[in-house]
Structure 1
Amino acid sequence: MNTTVHRTTYPSVALAAALLFGLSACGSDDTDATDHTGTAASSDGVTITHQYGETHIDGVPEHPVTIGASWADALVKLDVPITGEFVAQSASTAGDRYAWTPAHDSKVSTHQTGSLPGAEEVAALHPDVILVSALSDEKVYEQYSAIAPVIPVMTPGVTLDNWRDVTTTAGKIFDKEGEAQDAVTEVEDLLTETKEKHPAAQGKTFAYGQLTPSQDFGVVTDPASPAARILSDVGLTLSPALSDLAGQGDKGGSRQTISAEQVSLLDADVLVFWPIAGGEDAFAKIPGWKELRAVRSGATTYLDNSSAPAFVTPTIYSVPWAVQKLTPALDALEEAQQ
Structure 2
Amino acid sequence: MRPVRTAFAGALLGTLVLAGCGQTATPTPSAAPTAAAPASSAGFPVTIEAGNGKVTLAKKPERIVSLSATHTETLFAIGAGSQVVAVDDQSNFPPEAPKSDLSGFKPNVEAIVAKKPDLVIVSNDIDHVVAELGKVNVPVLLEPAAVKLDEAYEEIAEIGAATGNKAKADEVVSGMKTAMEKLAADAPKDKKLTYYHELDQTPYAATSQTFIGQVYAMFGLTNIADKAPDQAGGYPKLSAEFVAQADPDLVFLGDVKCCGQSKETLAKRPGWKGLSAIKNDQVIQLDDDLASRWGPRVVQLAEAIGAAVAKAGTKS
CA contact (8 A) 2:199 2:206 kept: no
Of residues 287, 301, 308, the one that matches 1:322 is 301
Counterpart position of 1:92: none
CA contact (8 A) 1:226 1:313 kept: no
CA contact (8 A) 1:46 1:172 kept: yes
Identity level (%): 17
Of residues 217, 222, 225, the one that matches 1:242 is 225
Kindly provide the CA deviation profile for residues 89-146 of structure 1, in whole angstroms up to 9, marking residues without a partner as x. xxxxxxx614xx3x43x43114567x232001111111101111x2234722111222
The alignment status of 1:119 with 2:119, answered yes or no, reads no
* Cα deviation, residue 159, structure 1: 12
Of residues 217, 223, 228, the one that matches 2:213 is 228
Give unpaired runs (5+ residues) of structure 2.
Answer: 16-40
Counterpart position of 1:199: 188
CA distance in 2, matches of 1:160, 1:118: 31
Counterpart position of 1:68: 68
Secondary structure at the counterpart of residue 130 of structure 2? helix
CA distance in 1, matches of 2:241, 2:147: 32
Counterpart position of 2:12: 26
CA contact (8 A) 1:49 1:154 kept: no
The alignment status of 1:85 with 2:76, answered yes or no, reads no
TM-score by length of 2: 0.75
1:121-270 matches, within 5 Å, as 121-132=111-122, 134-137=123-126, 139-145=128-134, 146-153=136-143, 162-200=151-189, 204-212=193-201, 216-221=202-207, 223-232=208-217, 234-239=218-223, 241-245=224-228, 247=230, 252-270=232-250
* Cα deviation, residue 225, structure 1: 1.9
Counterpart position of 1:91: none
Give unpaired runs (5+ residues) of structure 1.
Answer: 1-15, 30-40, 89-95
1:54-65 matches, within 5 Å, as 54-65=54-65
Q: As a proportion of its length, which structure holds more strand?
A: 1
TM-score by length of 1: 0.71
* Cα deviation, residue 53, structure 1: 2.6
* Cα deviation, residue 42, structure 1: 6.8
1:92-111 matches, within 5 Å, as 97-98=92-93, 101=94, 103-104=95-96, 106-111=97-102
Residues 183/44 of structure 1: CA separation in 2 closer, same or farther (3 Å cut): closer
Counterpart position of 2:26: none
* Cα deviation, residue 314, structure 1: 2.0
Secondary structure at the counterpart of residue 120 of structure 2? strand
CA contact (8 A) 2:85 2:98 kept: yes
Secondary structure at the counterpart of residue 291 of structure 2? helix
Secondary structure at the counterpart of residue 158 of structure 2? helix
* Cα deviation, residue 315, structure 1: 1.3
Q: CA RMSD in A?
A: 3.4
CA contact (8 A) 1:48 1:56 kept: yes
Residues 288/328 of structure 1: CA separation in 2 closer, same or farther (3 Å cut): farther
* Cα deviation, residue 332, structure 1: 1.9
Residues 206/185 of structure 1: CA separation in 2 closer, same or farther (3 Å cut): farther
1:1-20 matches, within 5 Å, as none
Of residues 300, 311, 314, the one that matches 2:291 is 311
* Cα deviation, residue 151, structure 1: 0.7
* Cα deviation, residue 149, structure 1: 0.6
Secondary structure at the counterpart of residue 199 of structure 1? coil
Counterpart position of 1:291: 274
2:210 aligned partner, one-letter code: S
* Cα deviation, residue 285, structure 1: 0.7
Secondary structure at the counterpart of residue 135 of structure 1? coil
Which moves more between the two structures, 293-302 or 184-193?
Answer: 293-302
CA distance in 1, matches of 2:277, 2:260: 21
1:118 aligned partner, one-letter code: N
1:325 aligned partner, one-letter code: A
* Cα deviation, residue 177, structure 1: 2.3
Secondary structure at the counterpart of residue 206 of structure 1? strand
2:107 aligned partner, one-letter code: P
